[in-house]
Amino acid sequence: MSHGWSLYVIFLVVLNIAATVWLLWWTSRPPKGGADPSATTGHVWDGDLTEYNKPLPKWWINLFYLTIIYSIGYLAWYPGMGNLAGWSGWTSAGEHDLDKAAADARLADAFGRFDGMPIDQIAKDPQAMAFGASLFANHCAMCHGSDARGAKGYPNLTDDDWLWGGAPEQILATVLQGRQAAMPPLAAAIGGDVGVTEVAAYVQSLSGIKADPALAAAGKARFGGVCAACHGVDGKGNQALGAPNLTDRTWLYGSDFGSIREAVVTGRAGMMPAHEPIIGATRSRLAAAYVWSLSHRPPAVGGAQ
C-alpha cells in the first residue's frame, strides 16, 4: 500500500471512530429541562401499545463505549491502520507462512516415502495413485481433461504418442520443468501461399490422408528444405524438440487441410507451466507417475485390452 493510501485509510478509521463516539454522546444526552417520563414518540399499536421516548440505560451506553475502547485496542495490537504495524507484530503474510509450514509438514509425512522413488515403482502403489489422481484433477485436468484425453492443442495422455517422450523420467521432467513448444510462422520461408498449400498437402499425405499427388510431390521438396529441420526428413518428428510425428494418425491441432495450413502460416506455441514451483518435487513425482500409469495400465482379466 502506498504512503498516500495508507494515510487515507488511517484518516477514515479515525474519522469513523470519532464520529461514532460523537453520535453516541449526542444521542444519549438528557433533554433540556430533564427527561419527561410520559413523553412518547406518537406511535400506538392495537389501541393501547404506546412507544415511549426514553433514553437508553447508562449500562447500555457504557457498553457501547467499551466496544469503542476495545476496537481502539484491537487496532493498536493488530495492523489495521494503513501501513502501521500493530504492537503484536502479527501479519497476514506471517500467518500464511505458519499455516503453509504446518501443511507442508503434514504433506511431507504423507508423501515423504515417495520422494526419489522411480516413477514406474510409484505407479504400483494404490495410495500413490490415489494421491496422483487427486493432484491431476486439481492441477492438470483443466487442460488435459478429467479423463486425460486432452483437447485441441492439449495432448491426450492416455495413448502412446508423446511429443517430448513417454519414458518415466521424460514425463517427470515435463511435469517438473514444464515445456515450451514453438513452431514459427513459415509461409515466407516455404514460398508464400503456393508453398503453404503444397506443404500442407504433403503433410497430409505423410499420414495416409488423401491429398493431391502433384501438390504433395511439390510440397515434399519444400518440406525437406525447411520443415525437416525439426520434423525430420521422414516426418517422424523429434522428441528432443517437441516436434510431433507427422506420419501417424495423432494430431494435436487437427488433420484437416485448413488446420495444417493454419499451423504453417501462423505457427504454433504450446506451453505447459513448470509444476515443481507449484506443487513441489515429490507431488510432481506422484502426478507424473499417475500420468505414466494412464498409458501403461495392466491388461484386464482374460487378456482384453
Together in a domain, 12 and 71: yes
- H/E stretch holding 282 reads helix 276-294
CA-to-CA distance for 163 and 181, rounded, in angstroms?
9
- Decide which of 58 and 222 is more confident: 222
Contacts by residues 123-130 (CB-CB < 8 Å, ≥ 24 positions apart): 123/289, 123/290, 123/292, 123/293, 123/296, 128/286, 128/289, 129/289, 129/290, 129/293
Domain for residue 8, yes or no? yes
Together in a domain, 288 and 163: yes
Task: Note the pLDDT of residue 34.
Answer: 66
> Average of pLDDT values for 27-35?
73
Domain for residue 94, yes or no? no
- Decide which of 104 and 258 is more confident: 258
> At residue 131, does pLDDT exceed 50?
yes
- Cα three-residue angle 66-67-70, rounded to 5 degrees: 85
Residue (of 204, 210, 181, 206) closest to 254 by Cα position: 204
- H/E stretch holding 288 reads helix 276-294
- Decide which of 33 and 236 is more confident: 236
Number of domain units in the chain: 3
Domain for residue 300, yes or no? no
Together in a domain, 150 and 280: yes
> At residue 298, does pLDDT exceed 90?
no
Domain for residue 186, yes or no? no
Contacts by residues 127-131 (CB-CB < 8 Å, ≥ 24 positions apart): 128/286, 128/289, 129/289, 129/290, 129/293, 131/283, 131/286
Task: Note the pLDDT of residue 190.
Answer: 94
Together in a domain, 145 and 278: yes
Task: Note the pLDDT of residue 242.
Answer: 94
Residue type, 42: G
Three-class SS of residue 175? helix
Q: pLDDT averaged over the chain? A: 91
> At residue 302, does pLDDT exceed 60?
no
Together in a domain, 263 and 197: yes
Lowest mean pLDDT among 37-51, 72-86, 152-166: 37-51
Together in a domain, 9 and 139: no
Contact 153, 252 (CB under 8 A): yes
Domain for residue 305, yes or no? no
Residue (of 244, 276, 243) closest to 172 by Cα position: 276
Together in a domain, 277 and 141: yes
Together in a domain, 206 and 261: yes
Angle between helices 92-111 and 276-294 (to 10 degrees): 30
Together in a domain, 42 and 158: no
Task: Note the pLDDT of residue 82.
Answer: 86
Together in a domain, 265 and 283: no
> At residue 35, does pLDDT exceed 90?
no
> At residue 96, does pLDDT exceed 60?
yes
Note down the domain range covering 252. 192-269
pLDDT bin (cut points 50, 70, 90) of residue 33 is: low
pLDDT bin (cut points 50, 70, 90) of residue 43 is: confident
> At residue 99, does pLDDT exceed 90?
yes
Beta strands in the chain (DSSP E): 40-45, 49-52, 179-180, 271-272
Domain for residue 161, yes or no? yes
Q: Which residue has the cell 413523553?
A: 39
Task: Note the pLDDT of residue 108.
Answer: 81
pLDDT in tens, 153-169: 999 999 999 999 999 99
pLDDT bin (cut points 50, 70, 90) of residue 305 is: very low
pTM beyond 0.85, yes or no: no
The neighbouring-strand residues paired with 50 are: 44
> Average of pLDDT values for 180-197?
95
Domain for residue 90, yes or no? no
- The DSSP call for residue 113 is G
Angle between helices 276-294 and 126-139 (to 10 degrees): 120
> At residue 300, does pLDDT exceed 70?
no
Domain for residue 110, yes or no? no
pLDDT in tens, 245-289: 999 999 999 999 999 999 999 999 999 999 999 998 999 999 999
Q: What is the CATH number of the domain that holds 152?
A: 1.10.760.10
Together in a domain, 128 and 73: no
